[in-house]
Homo-oligomer: A and B are copies of this chain.
Amino acid sequence: MSVLCSRQIRLKTRPAGIPAADHFELVECDMPAPGIGEILCKTLYLSLDPYMRGQISGRHISGTIDPGDLMRGETVSEVVVSNSPDFEAGELVCHYGGWQTYSLTTAEGVSRVDARLRPASLALGIMGMPGLTAYAGLFYLAEVKPRDVVLVSAASGAVGSLVGQMAKIQGCRVIGIAGSEEKCAWLRQVAGFDGCINYKTQPLSDALRQECPDGVDVYFDNVGGAILDAAMDQLAIGARVVLCGLMAQYNTDNVLPGPTPATIIRSRATVRGLVVYDHFDKQQEFLDRVLPWLEAGKIKYREDVSCGLAQAPAAFARLMQGRNFGKTIIKVA
């Protein structure tokens, strides 16, 4: 193998509030050499996800990223050198390769990318971890039923857009909450949502009463904060609420309180917390069930792709500002 250098993006300083590109630094380092049982992977696509902000704050269950640490993240990578019997050079794999051009790993935690996924970056988005999040939340935690009124926040994101489209396929009425007219238009016109509320321009409680006059049966929450409060006020009797993300809180030092318990009591709601790590055993079931919908054109998706590892900090800052539109992907190689 020729002497190559690898590039990494590390956390430089811990941001207060929304991160900016200069909270990160690009570092060149020696190409890692695979030892016994190890695999050297070349990063093709890197996934940027909101939960990373929690890792930077030390408030995510998957652990903390400190200044000086390599930024962690899921990647689609090509095996370059394999000293493992489980993988061969040239195979496409999915693993937590991090924000770097090359990564070294053992076979543990590495999975092959399903050959049906084109582009392979789908393995990071609606057919990957965010997709499994949507699937487990909607079918296992919310126990969605036909004719449910389903409300989802951060609706144009990878999780939210799949939640809504799967609910439509189940025969639900689906309302999204998103942060721009462009996103709302896409959700209504392309993704087939029955309605979409732009929370930046519409009074949310009024809009919810108008869009969901008989109440919300399933609320899939990706944000917390004021949007969660407003949604809880509009729950139907017997509603199911999936708490999945806390975008409203990621960029603050404060811990935002939750909705008043009275909303849960009054609606006899069932509120559940979702951590996708609990549901990895459903990955194959998820693929087998949802991929045919994608292949049949019943599920639309958007990717927000930036080219080059060096773009990752700026793309992450945009994601944290809600200025992404679709799944945030860095095309690394």
Tell me whether A243 and B257 are in contact (CB under 8 A): no
* Chain B: CB-nearest residue to A268: B273
Residue interface bits A225-236, CB-to-B below 8 A is 1, else 0: 000100000000
Query: Are A258 and B255 in contact (CB-based, < 8 A)?
Result: no
Residue in B246, B262, B267, B278 whose CB lies within 8 Å of A261:
B246
A201 close to B (CB within 8 Å): no
In the bound complex, do residue B275 and residue A268 qualify as a contact, i.e. CB atoms below 8 Å apart? yes
- Give the complex CA separation of A92 and B265 in angstroms: 32
Tell me if B265 and A274 are in contact (CB < 8 A). Answer: yes
Give the residues in chain B near A246, CB-CB below 8 Å: 261-262, 265
Binary interface profile of A, 214-251, with partner B (CB < 8 Å = 1, else 0)? 00000001001000100000000000000110100100
Interchain CB contact (< 8 A) of A259 among B221, B257, B265: B257
Which residues of chain B are within 8 angstroms of A228 by Cβ–Cβ distance? 261
Asked whether A18 is an interface residue with its Cβ less than 8 Å from the other chain, the reply is no
**Nearest residue, chain B, Cβ from A232:** B258
Q: Kindly state whether residue A1 has any CB partner on chain B within 8 Å.
A: no
Pairwise interchain contact A258-B256, C-beta atoms closer than 8 A: no
Starting from the known contacts A258-B260, A269-B271, 9 additional A-B residue pairs (CB-CB under 8 Å) come to A243-B265, A244-B265, A246-B262, A256-B260, A256-B261, A257-B260, A258-B264, A267-B273, A271-B271
* Pairs of residues from A and B, 5 with the lowest C-beta to C-beta distance, nearest first: A257-B257, A265-B273, A258-B258, A264-B273, A271-B271
Pick 12 A–B contacts, CB within 8 A, sort by A. Answer: A243-B261, A243-B264, A255-B262, A256-B260, A257-B260, A264-B272, A264-B273, A265-B274, A268-B272, A268-B278, A269-B272, A270-B271
